[in-house]
Structures are given as C-alpha cells and as structure tokens.
Amino acid sequence: MQQDIQMKTNEIQREGRKKDKLERELRQAKSDLDSKVIEIKNLQQTLDYTNANVAKLNGDLKDQKVRRSDYDCTLELFLFVIPRPQSVSVDSLSVDHQQSSNPTLNALL
C-alpha cells in the first residue's frame, strides 16, 4: 500500500512537471507569436512606406520624361529650324576682340 501511494505520488509529480513544461512552452509560443505579429506590423509599415516612395518616384520619372520630351522638341527646333552660322576659326578673324563693339564676338574670342 505504501508502494502504491509512492507510485501515485511519483506519477502526480511527473504529471505536474509535464504540465509546468507545457505551460512554459505555451507562454514561450505566445511570446514568440506576439513578437512575430509586431515584426509583421513593422514590415507592413515599411512596405507601405516603400510603396508610397515608389509611386512618388514613378510620378517624378513621368514628369521628367515629359519635360525631357518638351526639351528635346525645343532643342530640335533650335538645331534644325534656326540656321546655324558657319564655323569660324579664331585665327581667321581680322577684328581685334578688344576693339570690337560686339559683346558676343568678344565672348567668342
């Protein structure tokens, strides 16, 4: 009978240790889950912020492409519609740049 009581006591203690171990594991699992939830929220915020930046950059890029297209059109008009002067070397000019009254010519010399 004493032996039966000792066996039941040992079994109860084993069950108590198992229960304690399972409770610790459950608390750890809950803690891990909470950490993961926080990490997911932070990653979602980072993703949202990054997506907003990408959208802004795409808009900026589109605006720059439009401006570049406008600039290219203006440059084409300038290069092909306005007649270009002949190339003139500095040595072939007979006018002394300090005596010239033309400021553009002075700048070229």
Tens digit of each residue's pLDDT (9 = 90 or more) over 10-23: 999 999 999 999 99
Residue 106: is its pLDDT beyond 90? no
Which residue from 107, 86, 90, 106 is spatially nearest to 98, judged by alpha carbons?
106
CA 49 – CA 75 distance, rounded (Å):
38
Instruction: Read off the pLDDT band of 24 (50, 70, 90).
Output: very high
**3-state secondary structure at position 1:** coil
Tens digit of each residue's pLDDT (9 = 90 or more) over 69-89: 888 878 777 777 666 666 655
Instruction: Read off the pLDDT band of 68 (50, 70, 90).
Output: confident
